[in-house]
């Protein structure tokens, strides 16, 4: 028997934890956390531990397939690629290149290989339509930080004296970050932990808990700034040297005294004062935002802006334990020059571009409108790459209709997902353990200038291929040979690493556990603020010129007891969707036995008092109905959740949260939809 241990990383989520993969006779047999990985230090979560089940799942797609009269038929790679190439040429001839969309899901966006090759292909084909999950995730934060600082900041809670966690149940959604916070509490570094969440999440047991009404975080932040300014707790020196517009903020936050903010947020005025003082008086301090709970609101971009300003006025930037700037690893760039504008560029111009900097993305939330109504033009074909939009995009009923109306849908995945089921052709991708790649740690909260060689651990299962090879072979059949010269994993890795200053040999032989690609302490240097003024822009003229609030205001969710009281009579309960489940990433891994056993079904959480009002008991099946649709889930009664709020997970085929959400109402700046504060009606079934 031959045995080996391969040091690589896990990318079942964005954290990229280091893992030791054990191989016997060419088969993966066990996966453990890798203690030598400087960032994850041996940490592994249930999904990482299930990697053997994942790779050898009986549900893996093993060969290309095409749909014939509603039935799947096995075909060869040659037939699949020739058919796709012919159809894509026909689409381009009939409707023009922009009728094709390349769709990158979470995996397709977070992974440089999938993201890069998808962009390469769309560039060669000539369509501007790259649609990605960043239309509902993370980019709102990136944009807001760009707009404020002209650069990217990332949180460093593991070293702070005070941390405020806004809507992030990281015991479920980011265990590695949670570990760092618990450790900082245990060793006394972290003296003040504040949790702002409608649910008393487990981490709240270790700090001050603030129960907030969903969708009102911006008001709370403005209230805190009111107190910090009123009580002169801000960092005058930092503000004077690095910022513009503080005087306008001083006037602006006068409109948000704690007593008023209490009526908006449900947070007592005294608590607002208390957490404002804690935050301002305990440097280094760090706000940690849930991605989705701050972003996925009508006012999500401004929520992110308000969070930036809290950090700025207290001078909590580029000191250990505050917000820091990570020099991004410079990787080979696969993008090609773009022509034309993608869908969404008209409705949400800043999502596409500001200060002459163009984002590569169209706004995915306008996909159905484009296909079904031809606005601003009709998409006719789509290639989905590492995503499951049939379940994860808002307003699933309409998404299904649109996908069915497409003339041609191709899906590359490891599994027959809800999206793949709607496809004309499905292509089997191999998992990250079946190919080499470049790993780097640039997570949502955990960023470090740290890179690792993602090593091929086992041979691809069945006839599955790496994504780069799928795009390359398809590109060649389209006649784009010059853009797709790569012939092996190694060539692809070398291409990506070329500008980085780090070589494959170095990562493979000298540092199989990964390494810093620049001095780790460079993250504490004050960066150049590449805004139009060269300063941190507390007041944003760019926003003002585009017709948006230059300083954040509180805007009510469009469905709320305050903004739509008539609707609230019919749909009296607040609904928040998409609470993360530790065993699953979005729609993935539902059939892996060790994960399924611990999370077998979708569960809706309700406060007992609220449930009683509607005659609902623990364990009942309950319907949840919004203006868009109705689903059913089993009920779990928990005292921890705020009264009159229902919290449900997303990603379940049998109870799809996105049958309840809508893409009609969007944050005007980003085009993000409301997923965290809707109105619903609940009933026992």
The binding site for Mo ion (CB under 5 A) comprises 137
What distance in Å separates the CA atoms of residue 299 and residue 302, rounded to the nearest whole number? 5
Are 343 and 363 in contact by the 8 Å Cβ rule? The answer is yes
| 176 vs 306, beta carbon nearer ligand SF4 | 176
User: 564: which DSSP letter?
Assistant: -
**Cβ burial, residue 430 (10 Å; 0-12/13-18/19+):** buried
Is residue 392 at the binding interface for ligand MGD, with CB under 6 A as the rule? yes
464 is an interface residue for ligand MGD by CB under 6 A: no
User: Nearer Cβ to ligand MGD, position 303 or 550?
Assistant: 303
Is the dihedral angle over the CA atoms 81, 100, 659, 214 positive or is it negative? positive
17 contacts ligand SF4 (rule: CB under 6 A): yes
Q: How far is CA 327 from CA 201, 352, 508, 520, in A?
A: 33, 24, 22, 9
Q: How far is the CB of 486 from ligand MGD (least distance, A)?
A: 17
Question: In the 8-state DSSP scheme, what is residue 510?
Answer: I
Nearer to ligand MGD, 33 or 105 (CB): 105
Contacting ligand SF4 within 205-244 (CB under 6 A): none
Does position 170 bind ligand SF4 by CB under 6 A?
no
Q: How far apart are CA 487 and CA 675, in angstroms?
A: 42
**Which of the ranges 60-68, 212-220, 256-264, 511-519 carries the binding residues for ligand MGD, by CB under 6 A?**
212-220
Q: How many residues make contact with ligand MGD (CB under 6 A)?
A: 65
H-helix or E-strand spanning residue 633: strand 630-637
CA atoms within 13 A on the CB side of 95: 21
Strands 630-637 and 603-606: parallel
Tell which one of 85, 102, 112, 212 touches ligand MGD (CB under 6 A).
212
Nearer to ligand SF4, 174 or 215 (CB): 174
Q: Which of 20, 34, 48, 298 binds ligand SF4 (CB under 6 A)?
A: 48
SS3 570: helix
Sheet holding 27-33, edge to edge: 3-9, 18-24, 27-33
Closest CB to ligand MGD among 98 and 168?
168
Which of Mo ion, ligand SF4, ligand MGD, none interacts with 126 (beta carbon under 5 to 8 A by kind)? none
Q: Which among ligand SF4, ligand MGD, Mo ion, none contacts residue 55 (Cβ within 5 to 8 A by kind)?
A: none
Cβ atoms within 10 Å of 377's Cβ, excluding its own: 15
Residue 10 interacts with which of Mo ion, ligand MGD, ligand SF4, none, CB < 5 to 8 Å by class: ligand SF4
DSSP output for 418-439: HHHHT-SEEEEBPPGGGS-EEE
Residue placing its CB nearer to ligand SF4 in the complex, 48 or 215: 48
| CB of 371 or CB of 429, closer to ligand MGD | 429
Q: b vs e for 401-411, b when ≥16 Cβ sit within 10 Å of the residue's Cβ? A: ebbeebbbbbb
Q: How far is the CB of 11 from Mo ion (least distance, A)?
A: 14
Q: How far is CA 177 from the centre of its chain?
A: 15
What is the closest distance, in whole angstroms, from the C-beta atom of residue 443 to ligand MGD in the complex?
9
Which residue's CB is nearer to ligand SF4, number 20 or number 607?
A: 20
Q: Look at residue 16 and give the partner it binds from Mo ion, ligand MGD, ligand SF4, none, a contact being a CB closer than 5 to 8 Å depending on partner kind.
A: ligand SF4
Phi and psi at 229, nearest 5°, equal -75, -45
Which position among 8, 211, 385, 560 is part of the footprint of ligand MGD (CB under 6 A)?
Answer: 385
Q: Which among 597, 603, 660 has a CA at the least distance from the CA of 627?
A: 660
How many residues appear in the chain?
685
ω into residue 284 within 30 of 0, thus cis?
yes
**SS3 string of 195-214?**
EECCECCHHHHHCEEECCCC
Give the pair of three-digit tokens for residue 574.
């607040």
Minimum distance from residue 526 beta carbon to ligand MGD (Å): 28
Is residue 456 within 8 A of residue 336, CB to CB? The reply is no
* Sole binder of ligand SF4 in the list 6, 7, 8, 13 (CB under 6 A): 13
Q: Does 370 bind ligand MGD (CB under 6 A)?
A: no
* Of 9, 155, 217, 556, the one binding ligand MGD by CB under 6 A: 217
Helix (H) or strand (E) run with residue 310 in it: helix 300-313
Cβ-based nearer residue to ligand MGD, 166 or 234? 166
- Residue 477 interacts, among Mo ion, ligand MGD, ligand SF4, none and using kind-specific CB cut-offs from 5 to 8 Å, with none
Does position 387 interact with ligand MGD (CB under 6 A)? The reply is: yes
Among Mo ion, ligand SF4, ligand MGD, none, what does residue 679 contact (CB within 5–8 Å per kind)? none
Interaction residues for ligand MGD, span 598-617 (CB under 6 A): none
Question: In the complex, what is the shortest distance from the CB of residue 391 to ligand MGD, in angstroms, rounded to a whole number?
Answer: 7
Binding-site member from 15, 216, 299, 661 for ligand SF4 (CB under 6 A): 15
Provide the 3-class DSSP secondary structure of residue 290. coil
* Nearest by Cα to 300 from 213, 220, 196, 218: 218
Rounded-to-integer distance, Cα 680 and Cα 627, Å: 8
579 lies in the site for ligand MGD, by CB under 6 A: yes
Three-point CA angle 340, 343, 348, nearest 5°: 105
For ligand MGD, the binding residue among 137, 147, 177, 655 (CB under 6 A) is 137
Chain positions contacting ligand MGD, by CB under 6 A: 13, 105-107, 114, 133, 136-137, 166-170, 172-174, 196-199, 201, 212, 214-215, 217, 290-293, 385-389, 392, 412-415, 417, 429, 431-432, 467, 576-582, 584-588, 647, 650-651, 657-658, 661, 675-677
Chain positions contacting ligand SF4, by CB under 6 A: 10, 12-13, 15-17, 44-45, 47-48, 175-176
């Amino acid at each position: 028997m031959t045995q080996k241990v391969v040091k690589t990383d896990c990318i079942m989520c964005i954290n990229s934890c280091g893992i030791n993969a054990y191989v016997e006779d060419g088969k993966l047999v066990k996966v453990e956390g890798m203690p030598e990985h400087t960032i994850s230090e041996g940490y592994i979560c249930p999904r990482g531990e299930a990697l053997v089940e994942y790779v050898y799942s009986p549900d893996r797609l093993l060969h290309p397939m095409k749909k014939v009269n509603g039935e799947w038929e096995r075909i060869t790679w040659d037939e699949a690629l020739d058919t796709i190439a012919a159809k894509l040429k026909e689409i381009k001839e009939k409707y023009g290149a922009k009728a094709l969309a390349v769709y990158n899901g979470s995996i397709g966006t977070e992974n440089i290989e999938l993201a890069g090759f998808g962009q390469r292909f769309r560039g060669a084909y000539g369509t501007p339509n790259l649609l990605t999950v960043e239309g509902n995730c993370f980019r709102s934060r990136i944009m807001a930080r760009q707009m404020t600082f002209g650069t990217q900041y990332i949180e460093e809670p593991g070293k702070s004296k005070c941390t405020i966690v806004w809507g992030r149940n990281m015991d479920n959604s980011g265990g590695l970050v949670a570990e760092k916070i618990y450790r900082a509490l245990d060793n006394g570094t972290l003296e003040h932990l504040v949790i702002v969440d409608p649910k008393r999440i487990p981490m709240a047991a270790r700090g001050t808990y603030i129960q907030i009404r969903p969708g009102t975080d911006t008001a709370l932040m403005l209230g805190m700034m009111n107190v910090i300014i009123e009580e002169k707790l801000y960092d005058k020196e930092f503000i004077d040297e690095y910022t513009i517009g503080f005087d306008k903020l001083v006037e602006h936050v006068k409109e948000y005294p704690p007593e008023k903010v209490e009526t908006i947020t449900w947070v007592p005025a005294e608590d607002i004062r208390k957490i404002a003082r804690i935050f301002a008086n305990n440097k280094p301090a760090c706000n940690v935002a849930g991605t989705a709970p701050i972003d996925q609101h009508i006012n999500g971009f401004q929520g992110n802006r308000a969070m930036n300003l809290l950090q700025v006025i207290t001078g909590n930037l580029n000191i250990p334990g505050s917000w820091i700037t990570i020099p991004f690893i410079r990787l080979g760039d696969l993008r090609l020059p773009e022509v034309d504008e993608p869908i969404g560029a008209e409705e949400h111009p800043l999502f596409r571009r500001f200060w002459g900097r163009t984002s590569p993305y169209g706004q995915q939330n306008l996909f159905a409108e484009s296909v079904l109504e031809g606005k601003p033009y009709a998409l006719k074909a789509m290639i989905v790459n590492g995503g499951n939009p049939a379940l994860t995009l808002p307003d699933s009923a309409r998404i299904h209709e649109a996908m069915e109306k497409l003339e041609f849908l191709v899906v590359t995945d490891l599994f027959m997902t809800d999206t793949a089921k709607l496809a004309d052709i499905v292509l089997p991708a191999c998992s990250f353990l079946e190919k080499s790649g470049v790993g780097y740690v640039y997570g949502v909260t955990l960023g470090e200038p740290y890179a690792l060689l993602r090593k091929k651990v086992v041979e691809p299962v069945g006839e599955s291929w790496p994504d780069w090879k799928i795009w390359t072979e398809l590109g060649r059949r389209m006649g784009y040979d010059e853009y797709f010269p790569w012939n092996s994993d190694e060539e692809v890795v070398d291409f990506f690493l070329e500008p980085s200053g780090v070589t494959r040999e170095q990562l493979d032989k000298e540092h199989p556990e990964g390494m810093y690609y620049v001095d780790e302490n460079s993250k504490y240097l004050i960066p150049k603020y590449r805004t139009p003024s060269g300063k941190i822009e507390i007041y944003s003229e760019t926003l003002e010129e585009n017709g948006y609030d230059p300083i954040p205001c509180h805007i009510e969710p469009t469905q709320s007891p305050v903004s739509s009281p008539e609707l609230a009579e019919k749909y009296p309960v607040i609904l928040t969707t998409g609470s993360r489940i530790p065993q699953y990433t979005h729609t993935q891994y539902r059939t892996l036995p060790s994960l399924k056993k611990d999370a077998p079904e979708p569960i809706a959480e309700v406060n007992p008092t609220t449930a009683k009002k509607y005659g609902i008991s623990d364990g009942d099946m309950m319907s949840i109905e919004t203006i868009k649709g109705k689903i059913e889930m089993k009920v779990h009664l928990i005292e921890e959740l705020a009264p009159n709020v229902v919290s449900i997970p997303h990603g379940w085929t049998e109870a799809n949260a996105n049958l309840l959400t809508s893409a009609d109402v969007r944050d005007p700046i980003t085009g993000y939809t409301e997923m965290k504060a809707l109105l619903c009606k609940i009933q026992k079934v």
